[in-house]
Structure 1
Amino acid sequence: MLSLMSDVLIACLLPAMLLYLGVRLSLFDKEIFYSIWTDFLSLFRHSGKHNSSIYNAPFSAQTSLAAYSRYRSLSLEELSRMRASYISIGRTHKRIGYEIGYPRKLDRLAEIIEVNSKITDQVAALMKRRHSKEVSTTASTSRLGLGSPPNETSVDSRSLPRIREALKHFVRDWSNAGVSERSVIFEPILAALSVQSVSSRSEKRVLVPGSGLGRLAYEISQLGFDVTACELSGYMNGAFHFLLDPGTTRTVYQHEVHPYAHWWSHSRTATDLFRSVRFPDIVPRLAEDGQVGLHLKEGDFLTLDVPKSSDGYDFIVTLFFIDTSVNIISTLEKIHALLKPGGTWVNLGPLLWCSGAQARLELTLEEVFKVMDAVGFSLAGGRDGSDDDEPDCMKRCSIPCEYTRDEKAMMRWIYEAEFWVARKV
């Protein structure tokens, strides 16, 4: 047994030593070393065919659960720092701040944290119930050295933006306040899908990776398609289940959230900053297994099993998704592999690549089209939209749009998103 362990240890350490000597002796540069070293480490990482949420991944169900559980305490800690900053200014300036109502503004934020925490606490409680079995599995695997579930104290303020983004998605996806933003980006996609005859839609399978809180997938299912939403983020999945579960959401406009209260830049008035939004405008529900409707797969789109050719998806719809890829080529290859022969990919979104060199490839739009050609896609209507054999709703175009906007803020971020329809060839 000891001999076997020694052999395994040598087999692991020898490549690492050779790589190290290669860098020290300048046999290859550090960028090549980094690439090889990353691939080497990947051999020891968890296989994608298993549920990666048992690890302390930043978007795992366990990490998200811990973050939702701490939304209130983390937000109050942040508020305490804001109070301390105000107190630190000079007496004369504090008096002016008092006269314009700044302390009352801080007190109002404290009240809003309590309102929002009613939502986050319910999300956390539901996630605990849903993932109790998974948490138990994690506890047993941690004894094997594979990691342990994060507890609440291991989550810090870096988790707050992810929770607040989910709260904004309640507004974007499931409130009347989000209608105008949704319609701009949903309508081109729904129009392209609506070319399919109504009578055949129930037989057509649609996959929506990066589905977020699921409104687009829901709207596609309302056209009569059999739709699978796929989402990696535990923050989004926890919030979506909060809407789907009859125990937490029963009626329209049941819930209230203050989505903009935590970012004080670009606000015209405190009333605008602290306003609330009620949701949902529609109460969504998942279809039963085997029934046509809306279904949900939680996990990484890239780990989905590739079906037999005849069992692939008829459509894959991506919205603000492909630029989240660590490796865009892998993403396009996966989309291609999951589609049936002749299947259709509908895309709308920008190319805002992950920052900090997280994206291994940061391509221009022209380069994306070249990769699509290499992978095996054909753009409907051609790159310039000159093919008259395709209806206009299938042709490539640019669409100015926004994402989780605050319509009353002093700032607007406009994307010139690209829309296209491509077929697997």
Structure 2
Amino acid sequence: MFTVQHLLASDHLIAALIPLVLLVLSLHILGHPKHLLPLILGPARPRAAVPAHFSVERAAASYAQYARLARAELAVMRTAYARLRWAHRRAGYDLGYPRKLARADDAVRTNAVVADAVARLAHRAFPDELAPGGGFLRPGVAGDLGRVREALKHFVRDWSEEGRAEREAIFGPVLEVLGEVEPARRESMRVLVPGAGLGRLAWEISQLGYATTANELSYFMNLALRFLLSEDCTRAPNQHVLQPYASWFSHQRTADAVFREVAFPDAVPRLSDRFALAEGDFLALRAPAGADGYDAVVTLFFIDTSLNVLETLEHVHSLLRPGGRWINLGPLLWTSGGATAMELSLEEVLALAATVGFDVAPPDDGTKCARRTVECEYTADKTAMMRWLYQAEFWVGTKR
């Protein structure tokens, strides 16, 4: 008969008690069960911080990876063509489609000259952020091919002869308002351009004689602008060449139109006492030292990038001196999707501007400040079979 004495003398009981005793002793020494895990699994590896999407780390990685990512897309296209049955592949061959894919690869090589140069410039300009083992050299930092292509198209839009007509349509109303100020007065006036992109509008304003600051959050744009500003990278007009439309075969009339080259820059910008950069978040900017605010804040295709448009308008207001002017042009294309706190109509934005403290010149103002609609495009391919036209709204608000 099995008794308690048999159980106490059993090897099974001893085998069961040993792990329990060890667990109690471990808890007594270490204090908490979680402290046992490093002993069992080994020390945890620290998790590398993920670079913010518009950070210099992410942007530099994207420029450095441009050629590899673009060629990966081309590999998918080649595979799709290779899967066609023989008769269809032969028809494609007779049309020159394999040659078209080869020309696309040549275009990647052309564009990579600029993209790689931007990545090298980033490494020199930000040695701490992009040290070996970090930044675009850190494994796992995924490049954003779309953002690089967007920046390359901005070279065309902002700094090439091909982009002149598009620039004149949207820069013109802004420059006309600022050009009405007497030249002698401009020398003491300060203008801020948030969301400046590759900086052409801000540079044009500085050429009128204003002390102009270009502000941009995205380092995809900031690094590209630095590439133009650098005497090591850009020394002469039309020094560089891109094939900016080679990644998009849709809406094209000819293959030659797809692969045409565009030279840039049509003018060579340099930093000066009239043209300065303020890289980073617009909402972190403060009024210039020694002044009660900017004389003008120019927002071009900018306020609809806001996560909170009310906060943006309030900050524009706070940065202006009393009587300073907010000059705006844009289509209210809210770009942050569900993350945007309020996606407002034109009527609502104008009502909000009045609430914040702006007097917006009405359509019948009779001056160049009059509110009006401006039909325009943005980074358009002028030879394509498709046009995306904005009915953007232009207005000038005076701070009360």
Change (3 A) 1:330 1:61: same
CA distance in 1, matches of 2:279, 2:182: 30
- Mapping of 1:67-82 within 5 angstroms? 67-82=62-77
CA distance in 2, matches of 1:307, 1:123: 30
The aligned residue for residue 19 of structure 1 is none
The aligned residue for residue 424 of structure 1 is 399
Pick one of 97, 100, 123 that aligns with 1:102.
97
What 5-or-longer segments of structure 2 have no aligned partner? Answer: 1-48
CA distance in 2, matches of 1:97, 1:338: 59
8 A Cα contact 1:74 1:156, kept in partner: no
Post-superposition shift, 1:356?
3.1
- Mapping of 1:100-179 within 5 angstroms? 100-135=95-130, 149=135, 151=137, 153-156=139-142, 159-179=144-164
CA distance in 2, matches of 1:169, 1:152: 27
Give 3-state SS (helix, strand or coil) of 1:345's partner. Answer: strand
Runs of 4+ that moved beyond 2 A: 133-136, 148-157, 305-311
Q: Deviations over 1:342-361 (max 9, x none)?
A: 11000011111025312111
* Bigger Rg, which one: 2
Q: Deviations over 1:308-339 (max 9, x none)?
A: 89431110001111111111111101100111
CA distance in 1, matches of 2:300, 2:317: 16
The aligned residue for residue 21 of structure 2 is none
TM-score (norm 2): 0.85
CA distance in 2, matches of 1:376, 1:196: 23
8 A Cα contact 2:61 2:135, kept in partner: no
The aligned residue for residue 397 of structure 1 is 372
CA distance in 2, matches of 1:79, 1:268: 21
Post-superposition shift, 1:155?
4.1
Change (3 A) 1:280 1:152: farther
CA distance in 2, matches of 1:152, 1:407: 39
Post-superposition shift, 1:180?
0.5
- Mapping of 1:298-377 within 5 angstroms? 298-306=279-287, 310-377=291-358
Matched, 1:275 2:270: no
Which stretch shifts more, 306-315 or 347-356? Answer: 306-315
The aligned residue for residue 390 of structure 2 is 415
Give 3-state SS (helix, strand or coil) of 2:209's partner. Answer: coil
Post-superposition shift, 1:135?
3.8
Post-superposition shift, 1:151?
4.0
8 A Cα contact 1:68 1:121, kept in partner: yes
Number of aligned residue pairs: give it: 352
CA distance in 2, matches of 1:311, 1:183: 32
CA distance in 1, matches of 2:291, 2:68: 51
Give 3-state SS (helix, strand or coil) of 1:154's partner. Answer: coil
What 5-or-longer segments of structure 1 have no aligned partner? Answer: 1-53, 140-147
The aligned residue for residue 143 of structure 1 is none
The aligned residue for residue 185 of structure 2 is 200
CA distance in 1, matches of 2:330, 2:345: 13
Amino acid at match of 2:153: K
Matched, 1:230 2:221: no
8 A Cα contact 2:61 2:142, kept in partner: no
CA distance in 1, matches of 2:64, 2:289: 41
Change (3 A) 1:58 1:340: same
Pick one of 76, 80, 83 that aligns with 2:78.
83
CA distance in 2, matches of 1:398, 1:75: 38
Post-superposition shift, 1:197?
1.1
Give 3-state SS (helix, strand or coil) of 1:346's partner. Answer: strand
TM-score (norm 1): 0.80
The percent identity for this pair of structures is 50
Change (3 A) 1:335 1:355: closer
Post-superposition shift, 1:409?
0.3
CA distance in 2, matches of 1:135, 1:118: 20
Q: Deviations over 1:235-273 (max 9, x none)?
A: 101110110000000001100000100011101110000
Q: Deviations over 1:367-409 (max 9, x none)?
A: 00111111111112x3xx234xxx5211100000000000000
CA distance in 2, matches of 1:220, 1:187: 11
Which stretch shifts more, 351-360 or 405-414? Answer: 351-360
8 A Cα contact 2:50 2:141, kept in partner: no
Change (3 A) 1:337 1:308: farther
Change (3 A) 1:150 1:115: closer
Change (3 A) 1:226 1:308: closer
Give 3-state SS (helix, strand or coil) of 1:404's partner. Answer: coil
The aligned residue for residue 386 of structure 1 is 364
CA distance in 1, matches of 2:289, 2:99: 62
RMSD: 1.8
8 A Cα contact 1:69 1:152, kept in partner: no
Which stretch shifts more, 356-365 or 246-255? Answer: 356-365
The aligned residue for residue 286 of structure 1 is 271
